[in-house]
């Protein structure tokens, strides 16, 4: 009985919404020439920009409702793919563009290499368009003949918040 209760306790802990890992939600996924493109959202988060000499914290704004993330990975090995330029555009049902920005290349201990930023998206239905540029890196031979043109992934989402 004690073991059973302990197990239940463990499950409750793993499902606890206080764990930010558990609040990640997958929005959509597609594949492009062997690359898996996954759209994931988490709660708005602070992040550090260190792209010059001065580090700068970017704090979530009051209107931010999500940390939007684009995960690029090799569909066979799961290895993440860096060095791409990723741009995200959200359009509402009236056809108004409500968000249109380049994603930061990001690193995270839990999420790994990804592209993302905080997005002030009100609840509603949207079309998300994610444009991915060819990775700007020297390539080992297996990657020589793919991802040579920009790719656009468009999908519909219904955002209800966390």
77: its two tokens: 């090995």
Stretch of 54-62, 113-121, 133-141, 146-154 lying at the interface with Cu ion (CB under 5 A): 113-121
Residues 6+ apart with CB under 8 A from 123: 65, 159, 160, 161
Closest distance of CB 112 from Cu ion, Å: 10
Would you say 35 or 69 has its CB closer to Cu ion?
A: 69
- Report 116-135 residues binding Cu ion (CB under 5 A): 116
**Contact flag: residue 42 with Cu ion (CB under 5 A):** no
**Closest-CA residue to 70 (of 23, 16, 33, 108):** 108
- Which CB sits closer to Cu ion, 19 or 142? 19
**Closer to Cu ion by Cβ: residue 35 or 114:** 114
CA distance 33 to 21: 29
Of 106 and 130, the one with the shorter C-beta distance to Cu ion is 106
How far the first Cα of the chain sits from its last, in Å, is: 35
Choices 27-35, 103-111, 137-145, 149-157; region in contact with Cu ion by CB under 5 A? 103-111
* Residue 44 interacting with Cu ion (CB under 5 A): no
* Cα 80 to Cα 35: distance, rounded to the nearest angstrom: 9
Pairing of strands 104-106, 97-102: unpaired
* Site for Cu ion contains 106 (CB under 5 A): yes
Residues lying near Cu ion in the complex (CB under 5 A) are found at 106, 116
């Amino acid at each position: 009985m004690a073991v059973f209760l302990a197990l239940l306790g463990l499950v409750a802990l793993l499902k606890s919404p206080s764990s930010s890992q558990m609040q990640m939600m997958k929005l959509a996924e597609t594949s492009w020439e062997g690359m898996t493109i996954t759209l994931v959202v988490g709660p708005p988060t602070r992040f550090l920009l260190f792209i010059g000499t001065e580090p700068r914290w970017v704090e979530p704004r009051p209107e931010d409702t999500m940390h939007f993330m684009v995960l690029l990975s090799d569909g066979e090995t799961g290895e993440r793919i860096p060095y791409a330029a990723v741009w995200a555009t959200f359009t509402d049902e009236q056809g108004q563009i409500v968000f249109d920005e380049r994603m930061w290349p990001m690193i995270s201990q839990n999420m790994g290499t990804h592209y993302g930023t905080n997005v002030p998206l009100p609840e509603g239905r949207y079309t998300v368009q994610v444009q991915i540029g060819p990775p700007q890196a020297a390539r080992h031979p297996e990657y020589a003949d793919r991802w040579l043109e920009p790719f656009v992934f468009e999908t519909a989402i219904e955002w209800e918040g966390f």
